[in-house]
Amino acid sequence: MLNIVLFGKPGSGKGTQAEFIKKKYNLVHISTGEVFRSNIISDTRLGKIAKSYIERGDLVPDSLTIEMLKTEVEKYKSRNGFIFDGFPRTKDQAIALDKFLKTKEMRISATISLEADDKELIKRLLLRGKKSGRIDDQDEKKIENRFEEYSKKTSILREYYNVHNKFYTINGVGSVVEISNRLSSLIDDL
């Protein structure tokens, strides 16, 4: 079974590459943001609780995020593995994910970070913002703020997964096909 945590700053191509990995290796793609939105839209018990935090402008607590993730994983009885996108974001979440996967006789195979220069990512995001209308992709200062938040949070995770020999970086600059080929080479060697 193949279980991958996919990392990368906003604009690094995580969504595009997660879709590629999902199809090539027949994995289930779990995006924390999508799980939140789905639970909120479906008005589930967990969605109602998450919505109350979000509406107050608070971060959804790790315990609730983990509970939603467990529920999502358990929906898929037969699977080749998972791509975790947007989770874990903290060391506590990484530890909780490892413990949960162990109860399912699974483990993280690799944590892969798509790396690109901030200037390149800003260009990508500003272009995406023009096309999509996403407000958070139209302001360079907001983008830089997101990068800073990402760096603060993921540096701890980089260390955590490095200790477990499960952290890899991929050059995220180039064509979609070039980046996909780099990912395939890494995943095929796991």
The CATH homologous superfamily to which domain 2-188 belongs is: P-loop containing nucleotide triphosphate hydrolases (3.40.50.300)
Taking a C-beta distance cutoff of 8 angstroms, is the pair 79, 14 a contact?
A: no
**Predicted pLDDT at 100:** 93
Domain ranges of the chain: 2-188
Torsion angle, CA of 50/54/56/62, rounded to 10 degrees? 60
Those residues with Cβ within 8 angstroms of residue 153's Cβ, 6 or more apart along the chain or in another chain:
89, 90
* 183 vs 80: CA distance, rounded Å: 17
pLDDT tens digit string along 159-189? 999 999 999 999 999 999 999 999 999 999 9
Which residues in 9-78 belong to E strands, given as ranges? 28-31
Matching residue, tokens 């901030």: 118
**Predicted pLDDT at 154:** 79
**How high does pLDDT run on average in the chain?**
91
* 96 vs 99: CA distance, rounded Å: 5
Rg, Å, the chain Cα set? 16
* Amino acid of residue 14: K
Main-chain dihedrals φ then ψ at residue 157, nearest 5 degrees: -70, -35
Once rounded to an integer, what is the mean pLDDT over residues 36-47?
92
Main-chain dihedrals φ then ψ at residue 130, nearest 5 degrees: -65, -40
**Predicted pLDDT at 42:** 95
Helix (H, G, I), strand (E, B) or coil at 172: coil
Is the pLDDT assigned to residue 142 strictly greater than 80? yes
* 69 vs 79: CA distance, rounded Å: 16
Taking a C-beta distance cutoff of 8 angstroms, is the pair 112, 5 a contact?
A: yes
pLDDT exceeding 90 applies to what percent of the chain? 63
**Predicted pLDDT at 36:** 86
